[in-house]
Amino acid sequence: MTLLRGCDSSSFLFDKSTAGFKYKEMKNSTWAAKETELGLRPGDLSAKRYPTMRTQYSKLIKVANKSGSGAAQRTAMQQGLLGSFEFLRPYLVQLRDQRGSKVSYRN
């Protein structure tokens, strides 16, 4: 995908273990340069498109582990997303579902 070209080389945008991850100005300037290069409005890529596509990717890899009737056919867009975001796979952490919390009350 054109939107992500070059993002995989800027690991400080997505890898929390790199020293540059905490420097917001450096990340903002990198996103701004990428948005200017693509002719997007400021904030379109960094605040809207990238987080949305990253979330879709994380949901797709979660579904990819299903087998049998639980494994649905993927569209061409989903296949492209899986291929484009493959560089993120080592950095994504799947959190356990927390459906229904047990709450105890003290009197």
The pLDDT of residue 25: 92
The pLDDT of residue 1: 59
SS3 content of the chain, % helix, strand, coil (to 5): 65, 0, 35
Cα gap 73→69, rounded to integer Å: 10
Q: What is the model's pTM?
A: 0.70
Quick one: which of 64, 57, 62 has its CA closest to 78?
Answer: 57
Quick one: which of 58, 51, 50, 55 has its CA closest to 4?
Answer: 50
Q: Which amino acid is at 6?
A: G
Q: Tens of pLDDT along 71-82?
A: 678 888 888 888
CB 3, CB 49: distance < 8 Å? yes
% the chain with pLDDT above 90: 5
Q: Mean pLDDT across the stretch 12-28?
A: 88
